Amino acid sequence: MFRAILLEKTADAFSASLRDLSDDDLAQHAGDGDVVVDVAHSTINYKDGLAIANRSPVVRKWPMVPGIDGAGTVVSSTHASFATGERVVLNGWGVGETHWGCLAGRARLKGDWLVPLPAALSTRQAMAIGTAGYTAMLCVMALEAQGVVPGDGEVLVTGAAGGVGSVAIALLSGLGHRVIASTGRAAEADYLKGLGAADVIDRAALAAPGKPLQKERWAGVVDAVGSHTLANACAQTRYRGAVAACGLAQGMDFPSSVAPFILRGVRLIGVDSVMCPQAERRTAWTRLARDLDLAKLDAMTTGIGLADAITAAPEILAGRVRGRLVVDVAR
Ligand code: NDP
């Protein structure tokens, strides 16, 4: 038996509870997984918050064990690439949405989804990074692929005190970029500067409708917010600068014009972590193990137990979680 969060839904009721489940339950509900993993740590991302709080149609199959991320050790495998005892990390692929997830002591996953955990990282550190941090790395890689290099100019990070934002600031500043953090939480200015932000701006300056072309400022942007914030960020991006868009914390809309793209050659790059191909994922995890300052990662991480995941869900949706939440599934 192992403990897990279980989400159940009927025609008129939804529940999220801590339960004892068995390997038989896993075989019944996640039987297409060919690798069984003892999960040591998981995490709460924004999407986990949506699933656990039943706030948007993240979960497509019921009952569901949530948890889009997990790190742990293989206990049995029929997949050619993974052997018993190997440490692995899982991000996305619909896990916690259509396939039983990692907010559980044990998960049955597909080997094709797994990434070997880099030796430099513990399972706790891997989940302090989680999908939020791995997405931040994909965003940094997207900017690099567009030729944004340290010294080009300021790089804006929106949703700065959240998970994606915190890791993006630590990564970009560590690589030598001058990072400007946009936040609605002025009280977190010292935290953001501690992660490496050179300056902090009020997110209200970006949140309202703005002109299609504004004063050029950003060499690059990592945007976790969407809506008017993304539109304004594009309108303020310098000639041939790049914007990596990964989130929708303000909204899914994108009320922009083509002006920044056709008059300034601004490149808008969409970043998806869920179905990102294996090669790019492995590069991202290798880069995270190399480029992320683990002291900064520790500074942005709060540890919680499995049952706490249920109460953390509305907190992350309300934007009240700072940095990253790691779930110790044995606690
Ligand atoms: P968090 O909740 O940790 O961070 C989101 C941050 O956005 C908040 O901390 C807050 O930052 C800011 N924010 C919240 N509400 C608003 C608002 N109304 N207007 C402007 N800013 C707001 O979430 P994550 O960092 O984990 O995820 C960020 C976004 O990225 C989410 O939308 C998530 O769904 C998306 N995402 C997408 C992925 C992909 O594959 N494309 C993968 C991972 C995440 P502050 O307090 O500093 O203002």
Helix and strand tally (H, E) in the chain?
Answer: 11, 15
163 within 8 A of 134, measured Cβ to Cβ: no
| Closest-CA residue to 147 (of 73, 61, 240, 84) | 240
- Chain segment 304-331, per-residue pLDDT in tens: 999 999 999 999 999 899 999 999 999 9
Question: Is the minimum distance from the CB of 133 to ligand 1 under 6 angstroms?
Answer: no
Question: Is the minimum distance from the CB of 271 to ligand 1 under 6 angstroms?
Answer: yes
12 vs 330: CA distance, rounded Å: 32
Mean pLDDT computed over every residue of the chain: 97
Q: Which residues pair with 106 in a beta bridge?
A: 38
Query: Same topology for domains 2-117+300-328 and 131-270, yes or no?
Result: no
Q: pTM for the complete prediction? A: 0.97
| Closest-CA residue to 280 (of 142, 120, 109, 155) | 142
Taking the centre of ligand 1 as the mean of its atom positions, its distance from the CA of residue 78, in whole angstroms, is 37
**What is the residue type of 105?**
G
Determine the length of the chain: 331
| Residue ranges of domains in the chain | 2-117+300-328, 131-270
Question: Is the minimum distance from the CB of 44 to ligand 1 under 6 angstroms?
Answer: no
- Chain segment 64-113, per-residue pLDDT in tens: 999 999 999 999 999 999 999 999 999 999 999 999 999 999 999 999 99
235 within 8 A of 208, measured Cβ to Cβ: no
Taking the centre of ligand 1 as the mean of its atom positions, its distance from the CA of residue 23, in whole angstroms, is 35
Taking the centre of ligand 1 as the mean of its atom positions, its distance from the CA of residue 318, in whole angstroms, is 10
Taking the centre of ligand 1 as the mean of its atom positions, its distance from the CA of residue 224, in whole angstroms, is 5
- 131-270: CATH number: 3.40.50.720
- Per-residue pLDDT for 56 more than 90? no
279's CB contacts (< 8 A; 6+ apart) are none
Mutate-to-test residue for ligand 1 from 46, 55, 253, 269, highest number of ligand atoms within 8 A of CB = 46
| Closest-CA residue to 315 (of 134, 67, 55) | 55
Give the number of the atom of ligand 1 that is nearest the alpha carbon of residue 50. 34
Class in CATH terms, 2-117+300-328: alpha beta
Diameter of the chain measured on Cα atoms: 61
